[in-house]
Amino acid sequence: MTATTASTSGTSNQHLSYSTPENSLVMSETSSGNTSMQDVPISPMKLPKMRSAQHPRTILTPPPPLQEQPQQYSSTGSSSSQPQSPFDIDYNSDDDETVGLEHFQPLDMDTSLPKIEYCHDTDAEDYRGGPCQPSKKQDPREKFQVGDHVYQWRSWGGIPGVFQHHGIVMDIINDLHTGDFKLTIADFSNVATPSNKKLPNKKQQSGFFQEGILRTYTDASKWHKVEYQANWWKRTAYRAGTCTSSKSDAVGLVLARVNFIIQYPELLPDYHVIYANCECVAFWCKTGEWSTLQASTMLEMAAAGQAKQSATLALTAASAQVSVPASGVWGWMGYSSTVSWLSLHPMVAPALAGYAAVTIGTPAIIYYKAKGRWEETTKHLCDSFWESALEQPDVFAECMTHWSEKNIL
Contacts of 113 (CB under 8 A, 6+ apart): 107
Question: CB neighbours of 75 closer than 8 A, spacing ≥ 6?
Answer: 84, 88, 89, 90, 98
pLDDT of 179: 67
Lowest mean pLDDT among 57-61, 238-242, 261-265, 397-401: 57-61
pLDDT value of residue 222: 86
Q: With CA atoms as reference, report the closest residue to 315 among 307, 324, 304, 323.
A: 307
Name the 3-class secondary structure at 225.
Answer: strand
d(CA 162, CA 155): 5
Which of the four pLDDT bands, split at 50, 70 and 90, describes residue 240? confident
**Residue 316 confidence class, pLDDT cut points 50, 70, 90:** confident
* Residue 364 pLDDT: 75
Is the distance from CB of 325 to CB of 336 less than 8 angstroms?
Answer: yes
Model pLDDT, residue 336:
74
Task: Check residue 223 and report its DSSP letter.
Answer: -
Question: Is the per-residue pLDDT at 232 higher than 60?
Answer: yes
Report the alpha-carbon distance of residue 210 to residue 262 in Å, rounded: 6
Q: Quick check: 408 pLDDT over 50?
A: no
What pLDDT digit, counting tens, does each position of 160-187 carry? 888 888 999 998 887 777 667 788 899 8
The pLDDT of residue 360 is above 60: yes
Query: Under a CB-based contact definition with an 8 Å cutoff, are residues 385 and 254 in contact?
Result: no
Interatomic CA distance for residues 70 and 83, integer angstroms:
11
Selected residue with higher pLDDT from 64 and 376: 376
pLDDT tens digits, 98-156: 444 454 455 554 544 455 444 444 444 444 444 444 445 555 556 888 999 999 988 88
Instruction: From residue 86, give the alpha-carbon distance in Å to each of 69, 107, 170, 325, 330.
Output: 17, 11, 64, 101, 106
What does each C-alpha distance from 57 to 27, 40, 50, 177 come to in angstroms?
A: 9, 19, 9, 83
Which pLDDT does position 150 carry in this prediction? 93
CA distances from 238 to 100, 201, 352 (A): 71, 43, 32
> ∠ at Cα 42 (40, 46), nearest 5°?
135
Residue 396, SS3? helix
| 3-state SS class at 199 | coil
Confidence at residue 78, expressed as pLDDT on a 0 to 100 scale: 47
Asked if 151 and 241 touch (Cβ cutoff 8 Å), the reply is yes
pLDDT, position 26? 46
pLDDT digit string (tens) for 12-46?
444 444 444 444 444 444 444 554 555 555 555 55
Decide if pLDDT at 210 tops 50.
Answer: no
Measured distance CA(286)–CA(168) in Å, rounded: 9
- Collapsing DSSP to helix, strand or coil, 20 comes out as coil
Question: What per-residue confidence (pLDDT) applies to 300?
Answer: 64
Which secondary structure element, helix H or strand E, spans residue 357, and what is its range? Answer: helix 348-390
The residues, ordered by sequence, that sit 6+ positions from 360 with a Cβ below 8 Å of its Cβ are: 303, 306, 307, 310
What are φ and ψ of residue 364, in 5° steps?
-65, -40
pTM: 0.52
**Which position has the higher pLDDT, 319 or 268?**
268
Q: Among 182, 165, 353, which Cα is nearest to 242's?
A: 165
What residue type is 86 in one-letter code? P
**Cβ count near 197 (within 10 Å):** 5
| Chain mean pLDDT for the chain | 67
Count of beta carbons in the 10 Å neighbourhood of residue 140: 19
**What is the model's pLDDT at position 393?**
75
Do the bridges between strand 181-187 and strand 24-30 make them parallel or antiparallel, or are there none, so unpaired?
unpaired
Top-confidence residue, 297 or 53: 297
How much is the pLDDT for 379?
94
The predicted structure's pLDDT at residue 297: 67
Q: Report residue 244: phi and psi, to 5°.
A: -155, 160
Rounded Cα gap, residues 358 and 314, in angstroms: 15
Q: Give the pLDDT band of residue 5 (cuts 50, 70, 90).
A: very low
Q: Would you place residue 290 in the very low, low, confident or very high pLDDT band (cuts 50, 70, 90)? A: very high
| Partners of 153 in beta bridges | 164
Higher pLDDT, 180 or 372: 372
| Highest-scoring range by mean pLDDT, 40-54, 266-280, 343-357 | 266-280
Q: What is the mean pLDDT of residues 365-381?
A: 89
Helix axes 278-287, 293-319, angle to 10 degrees: 110
Q: With H, G, I as helix, E, B as strand and everything else as coil, classify residue 404.
A: helix
- The answer to whether 24 and 12 are in contact (CB under 8 A) is no
Domain ranges of the chain: 1-62, 140-285
